[in-house]
Structure 1
Amino acid sequence: MKIPHNAHVALVDGTRFLVLRNSGQPFEPSLQLVAEPDLDPTNFSAGIRNQEPSAPGGASTNLNELAHGAAAAEWLNSKAKAGEIEHLVVVADPKTLGEMRRHYHVELKDRLAGELAKSLTGEPIPSIEKVLAAA
């Protein structure tokens, strides 16, 4: 995956949110931790879609985790609207990524350099760099 120099990389899952920055080349990322924002997940709008007794495919849905994804998207939206993010790559588990997409502001969409539906928040940075380079 091509990650522009100085692009932000958001690693998100249902409980953790990390913001990294690429100081390396587009196809050879070198990531540094920028922030681990403390989010206040208050947007439980996913509950409207997930009131069925069982989720499709038998997968369980945790509304707190989806609200965390929505809060991460809102945080990224605010940074994009403020001009603090020029290019962004979002890496999140598939369920969180799906929820985040519902909350992307047009300013954030314009800055997206890529997305990867994979859970990497618990991985060390060198492993994340390898996965992104190979994507």
Structure 2
Amino acid sequence: MRLPKNAHVAVVDGTRFVLLRNDGAPLEPKLGQAEEIDVRATNFSAGVKHQDEAGQRMGRTDLNELAHGAAAAECLNQKAIGNEIEDLLVIADPKTLGEMRRHYHSELEKRLVGEIAKTMTGEPADRIAQAIAAA
């Protein structure tokens, strides 16, 4: 995947949100400036579509994790609207990514250069960069 120089990379799952920046070339990303973002999960709108009690008991649905994904999307929306982000790549586990997409603002969508549906929040920056280059 081609990642523009200085593009932001949001790495998100149901509990963590890390924002990095590409200091490398577009075809050879080198991620630096990692910033752990602490967001408050307040938007539990996913609960409307995840009312299945059996799914919640078996661990298939965690409303807190989905709310964290929504909060991360809202944070990214504010950064896009405030022109703090020019280009953005989102890497998130499939469930979180699906929830985040529901909350993307049109301004954020204009700045998206791609998405990768993969859990990578526990990985070091060089492994994340390898996953981007391979995508």
Q: Tell me whether 1:76 sits opposite 2:72 in the alignment.
A: no
Q: Partner residue of 1:109?
A: 109
Point out where structure 1 has 5 or more consecutive residues left out of the alignment.
none
Q: Describe the superposition over 1:74-117 as per-residue Cα deviations: whole angstroms up to 9, x where unpaired.
A: 00000000001000000000000000000000000000000000
Q: Percent same amino acid at aligned positions?
A: 62
1:34, distance to aligned residue in structure 2 (A): 3.8
Write out the 4+ residue segments of structure 1 that deviate beyond 2 Å after TM superposition.
Answer: none
Q: Distance in 2 between matches of 1:36 and 1:126?
A: 17
Q: Describe the superposition over 1:10-67 as per-residue Cα deviations: whole angstroms up to 9, x where unpaired.
A: 0000000000000101110010134211111000000000001234xx7610000000
Letter of the 2:68 partner, please give it: H
Q: Distance in 1 between matches of 2:131 and 2:34?
A: 19
Q: Tell me whether 1:12 sits opposite 2:38 in the alignment.
A: no
Q: Partner residue of 2:48?
A: 48
Aligned residue-pair number? 133
Q: Partner residue of 1:27?
A: 27
Q: Distance in 2 between matches of 1:81 and 1:33?
A: 21
User: TM-score, normalization: structure 2?
Assistant: 0.95
User: TM-score, normalization: structure 1?
Assistant: 0.95
Q: Tell me whether 1:125 sits opposite 2:119 in the alignment.
A: no
RMSD: 1.1
Q: Partner residue of 1:62?
A: 62
Q: Distance in 1 between matches of 2:16 and 2:84?
A: 21
Point out where structure 2 has 5 or more consecutive residues left out of the alignment.
none
Q: Partner residue of 1:94?
A: 94
